[in-house]
Copies of this chain bind each other. A is one copy, B any other.
Amino acid sequence: MAKRGAYAKGVVKREEILEAALEIVGRRGYRNASVREIADAVGLSPAGLLHYFGTKEQLFVEILRARDRRDTASDDELEFFDAFLAVVRHNPEVPGLVQLYTQLQAEAADPGHPARAYFLDRTEEVHAAARTAIAAGQREGRIRADLDPEWIIRAGHALADGLQNAWMLDPTIDMAADVEQFFALLKP
C-alpha cells in the first residue's frame, strides 16, 4: 500500500513537472529553458527532477508527449482535419515547443536517440487517424477519390513539419492558412 501510494505520488509529481516544463519551454524556448529553471518551478533540485525521467533528453521527449496529450484532449470533439488545423493554429503561441519539436525531430535521425521512438509512435498514431478521416472524406465525396490516401497523409504531415521550420526563420508565415490551402486542393 505504501508503495502504491508512493507510485501514485510519483505520477502526480511527474505530471506537475511536465505541466511546468510545457509552460516554461513554450515561453522561453528549448535552448533557453534549463533543467534548473523547470526544477525550481516545482521545488526540486535538477538531480531530483531528472530522477523522474532518467536523462535530460528523455525529459524533453516527455514534454513533447505531454503536449500531444494536451492537444488531443482539447481537440477531442473536433473532426480530424479541424483538430489538425487547431494544433497548427496554436503553434505560434508556443514557439519554444515548435523549436523543441523540430530540434528533436532532427536528432531522431540518430537510431540511438530517445526521441526516435516518440516520432515513430506519433507518426503511426497521427497517420492512423488521418487514414480513417481521409477514407470517410473520399467515400462522402469531400476529398478527390483519385488521390492516393497515403500520399495525402505523407504530404500533409511533411507540409506541416516543413512549415514549422520556415516559420521559425520567418514568423510572418501563416502556417494554418497554408495547410488549409493544401486541404482545399484535395477537394473534388
Binding site for B on A (CB under 8 A): 29, 31, 99, 102-103, 105-110, 116, 119-120, 123, 148, 151, 154-155, 157-163, 165-166, 168-170, 173, 178, 181-182, 185
Contact = CB atoms under 8 A, between A and B. Distances in A.
Residue from A119, A154, A168 whose CB has the most chain B CB atoms within 10 Å: A154
B123 A166 contact: yes
A158 B157 contact: no
Nearest to A103: B106
A100 to B, nearest CB: 10
A146 to B, nearest CB: 11
A185 B159 CA distance: 14
Nearest to A110: B31
A102 B105 contact: yes
Contact of A158 (B103, B123, B158): B158
Q: Within the oligomer, what is the number of copies of this chain? A: 2
Contacts of A108: 168-169
Contact of A105 (B106, B154, B159): B106
A102 B102 CA distance: 9
A178 B161 CA distance: 15
A165 B161 contact: yes
B102 A106 contact: yes
Nearest to A96: B109
A120 B166 CA distance: 9
Nearest to A32: B110
A119 B169 contact: yes
A110 B155 CA distance: 27
A185 B105 CA distance: 28
Contact of A178 (B99, B158, B169): B158
